[in-house]
Amino acid sequence: MGALPSILDPRSVIMLAGIMGLMMALVVFFMRRSYPPSIGGLGDWALAPLVAFVSTMLFAGRGFLPDFVTIVVANFVLFQACILYYSGSQKFLLGRSDTRGWTLLNGFLGLAMFWFSAVKPDFEFRLVLVTLAVSALFFFHARLYMRDRGMVFGKRLMTGLLLVQSAVAALRFVSVLVGMAGESLLDTSWIQSLYITMYSFTVLLMSIAVILMATDRVHTEFEYLASRDPLTGALNRRALLDACRAAFAHAGRRRVALLMIDLDHFKDINDRFGHLMGDAVLREAVSRMQRAIGDAGVLGRYGGEEFVVLLSGAGQAEAMSIAQQLKQAVGEPFTPDSPLAAVGAMAVSIGVAAGEEGNRVDDVLARADAALYRAKAMGRDQVMAAA
């Protein structure tokens, strides 16, 4: 299993990889312009295959261009392209990027490439250094995805590609140790052809994985925005009622409780301080309610200053206890340095009603609403249970 047919000539495969990378760079670049800026990493992912294209053109010039360009610069640029892919993934998954260690390693590789090409030429040692570094980078890149939750198809594809490329680079590293290094980058041995060909497909498929992941993120964000109240971030009325219907339809033997909540004297706040202050009060009230509820329930904006909390698996007594905690949390006074200090303190009136599987949501809401109005009639800042 020595040389392979000329159709897999390494120089041709390298140039093909560069051209595919250039095409995918253009695809990701134009895709980036139509995607929201909240999706991080697209800039690095668009730049990475473009940088890889430059490196492949330099590699393909081996024998025609100076060795410094086709060995030192080409390897440095190629590894930097791999770092850019990694940086894009960090921004996409973590919202930030830190590749300083890998960039420092790339500088060390550049010096080593120069030494073992111009001062003490040694193809085998250069190959050992490059394949070991590439294998490590791709493995750490794959581990980033393996630690992430929500492995959609695009993420699984990216993880598989990174692991395969890491394994192929490791195999090329081992081939050097067992005396199968070959004589140069353009050697036509099967192991060298596999190494170069796999890189070509990886560049193409990684860009496809990027597009799949970004598209899935866009769909997720649109679905989130479609179900949220734009001012407070709580569920909007449609999503809230859908969640209530689902809870009552699948309650089984568990009880389901609804809290109908009204922010007391909210109209006075708007009249005295203006609607901007009123909006800030609503946001703060929702933030406090969500902290008080935690994972016990779902909060939604029913309309205006009215909110509903869905408590799955809670009976009347437990719902009353949670309602009291919620009322206390909302009523905590503002600190003197708070922008809302002038408002004084917030207060809520709460009506509590419990139901079970098969109950109509509108009926339970009507009972909670009636309890709410009794709480307001009793002087507000009260929690009342439905009759």
How far, in Å, CA of 36 to CA of 186, rounded? 43
144, 95 in Cβ contact below 8 A?
Answer: no
Residues 6+ apart with CB under 8 A from 16: 200
| Full 3-state SS string of the chain | CCECCHHHCHHHHHHHHHHHHHHHHHHHHHHHHHCCCCCCCHHHHHHHHHHHHHHHHHHHCECCECHHHHHHHHHHHHHHHHHHHHHHHHHHHHCCCCCHHHHHHHHHHHHHHHHHHHHCCCHHHHHHHHHHHHHHHHHHHHHHHHCCCCCCHHHHHHHHHHHHHHHHHHHHHHHHHCCCCCCCCCCCEHHHHHHHHHHHHHHHHHHHHHHHHHHHHHHHHHHHHHCECCCCCCECHHHHHHHHHHHHHCCCCCCEEEEEEEECCHHHHHHHHCHHHHHHHHHHHHHHHHHHHCCCCEEEEEECCEEEEEEECCCHHHHHHHHHHHHHHHCCCCCCCCCCHHHCCCCEEEEEEEECCCCCHHHHHHHHHHHHHHHHHCCCCCEEECC
Which candidate in 183, 221, 305, 356 is catalytic? Answer: 305
232, 301 in Cβ contact below 8 A?
Answer: yes
305 carries an active-site annotation: yes
Q: The tokens 């992430």 sit on which residue?
A: 148
How far, in Å, CA of 170 to CA of 163, rounded? 10
The catalytic site residues sit at 305
